[in-house]
Amino acid sequence: MSGELDALTVVNQLRDLAADPLNRRAIVQDNGCLPGLILFLDHPNPQVVYSALLAVRYLAECRSNREKMKGELGMMLSLQNVMQKSTSPGETKLLASEIYEILQAAGNDQAEQAEAEAASCRRKAHFFMGSTNKRAMTVVLHIDGLDDSTHRSLCEEALLKIPGVISFTFQMAVKRCVVRIRSDLKAEALGTAINSTKVMKAAQVVKGEDGGEVNGGREG
């Protein structure tokens, strides 16, 4: 009995340490903690197992821990055992299953994220290559509906598809987009592309004869 009490005391201490985000990386880097928690996952006392699972779940909150945890000898196997053991309480099985899925996805999401970022960088690098073009002019667009990041992304996609667009910057507070385009591109093409999103309407801001701005001079 005292052995079980000792195990519960130790695992509860580990769980409490893991609950603090500042400790999570250090615990996983420590040579003894993870193997110890894996042993506790096979413990006969269901309280010890549940407490160990909670500790592992806390550690998995830290993204940078997941690869190492997934590769730790016995980790995935012990989680599977808990999930499949008929004597495991339902709540314990659910927790083990959740951890298993998080760790199983480790590496995949990192690879996908890196790939997406690289693709985005490549696209932007290609797109902005002509930004020093001398034969360029600046068009200011007022865009109705440019009120959040989703619409901003739609707007970016529409502009990126237009050959001759060199660069653009958004002024979200005033719903404007300042676009540098090649001189052979008609400004109306910008409005047409943005209007095709169906959720935004663009109009060119032009200077009047008195130097003041005339909003909606030309629409696409």
- Fold match between domain 2-106 and domain 129-207: no
3 vs 193, more confident = 193
Residue 215 pLDDT class (50, 70, 90 cuts): low
Residue 220 clears pLDDT 50, i.e. is over it: no
For position 46, what pLDDT does the model report? 93
Residue 43 clears pLDDT 50, i.e. is over it: yes
Average pLDDT over residues 30-43: 92
pTM of the model: 0.50
Q: How do the domains of the chain map onto residue ranges?
A: 2-106, 129-207
Residue 130 clears pLDDT 80, i.e. is over it: no
Is the domain spanning 2-106 CATH 1.10.8.100? The answer is no
C-alpha span between 187 and 191 (Å, rounded): 7
**Torsions phi, psi of 187, nearest 5?**
-60, -30
Average pLDDT over residues 112-122: 54
Beta strands in 61-159 (DSSP E): 136-144
Asked if 182 and 176 touch (Cβ cutoff 8 Å), the reply is no
Name residue 179's beta-bridge partners: 139, 168
Side chain identity, residue 208: G
| CATH label, 129-207, candidates 3.40.1160.10, 3.30.450.20, 3.30.70.100, 3.40.50.360 | 3.30.70.100
Give the model confidence (pLDDT) of 175-189 as tens digits: 889 888 888 888 899
For position 213, what pLDDT does the model report? 60
Name residue 153's beta-bridge partners: none
Residue 219 clears pLDDT 50, i.e. is over it: no
